[in-house]
Structure 1
Amino acid sequence: MTFGLTFEKLVLIGLIAVMIIGPERLPRAAEGFSRMVRKAGEYLRDTKSRMRQEMGPELDDVDWRKLDPRQYDPRRIIRDALLEDPQPAPAAQARSTIAEPVAPRVHQEFDAQNRPPYDVEAT
């Protein structure tokens, strides 16, 4: 994750920062920067140790190289899926009973006396 920053760009940013800060405040700024880098490293170490405590011993058993997304080759995955013998699905047993025929619905005419059904939950 370099965000497009090359070594030359970083040197240029550093030189501009030195010119803006000036020689009087440069030692104090360098101390602050080193303190910030030290705290960031300490934060990362604490996070790593906390993760190891929470995950337990199974964290060491994980093969991280196998889970690396750069190792996935879509062509190989598709080839393996196509060459793999499909598992036959268990055949469903035929039903011994026959369904009764359904009578067709008759269209009802509604008027003032014969009102349509009213569903409170649907309206």
Structure 2
Amino acid sequence: MTFGLTFEKLLLIGLIAVLIIGPERLPKAAESFARMVRKVGEYVRDTKSRVRDEMGPDLDDVDWRKLDPRQYDPRRIIRDALMEEPQPAAAMKAKSTIMEPVAPRAPQQFSAENRPPYDPEST
């Protein structure tokens, strides 16, 4: 990640830092900046190793580029769905993993002899 920084921009930032910080304090500022960069690197490496330890070896098998939301263009998804050939109903039934709805039963008629089920623990 370059954050849009070119060599010229980095040179300009360095020149401004020299002017603001001054030549006497610049070595100490560079040293503290280098220390901060090292700590950030250690933090990132530690975080990666902790994630790998907690997620297990399956984490290495994940193709992270497939999960990038920037690759999904809603126009392309809709166009592909509309251009897709309609499937026959028999093929869709065979593909369907959703359970078929159960036909409703006729309501039971209860009377004095045919009482509804009663569970004394439920009340």
Report the TM-score range of the alignment, normalised by the length of the smaller protein. 0.5 to 0.7
Q: Deviations over 1:67-110 (max 9, x none)?
A: 122322323322454546585683542432389xxxxxxxxxxx
Alignment match, 1:96: 106
| CA apart distance, 1:11 | 3.1
| CA apart distance, 1:49 | 0.6
Alignment match, 1:30: 30
Alignment match, 1:44: 44
Unaligned stretches of 5+ residues in structure 2: 110-123
* Percent identity (aligned): 72
TM-score (norm 1): 0.60
Alignment match, 1:105: none
Take 1:77 and 1:35, find their aligned partners in 2: how far apart are those partners?
Answer: 47
Unaligned stretches of 5+ residues in structure 1: 100-123
1:61 partner letter = D
CA change 1:94–1:38 in 2 (3 A) is closer
Q: Deviations over 1:45-71 (max 9, x none)?
A: 111111100111110121212112232
Question: After the TM superposition, which of the residue ranges 12-21 and 54-63 deviates more from structure 2?
Answer: 12-21
Structure whose CA Rg is larger: 1
CA change 1:91–1:56 in 2 (3 A) is closer
2:68 partner letter = D
TM-score (norm 2): 0.60
| CA apart distance, 1:31 | 1.0
CA change 1:56–1:8 in 2 (3 A) is same
2:39 partner letter = K
Take 2:60 and 2:107, find their aligned partners in 1: how far apart are those partners?
Answer: 57
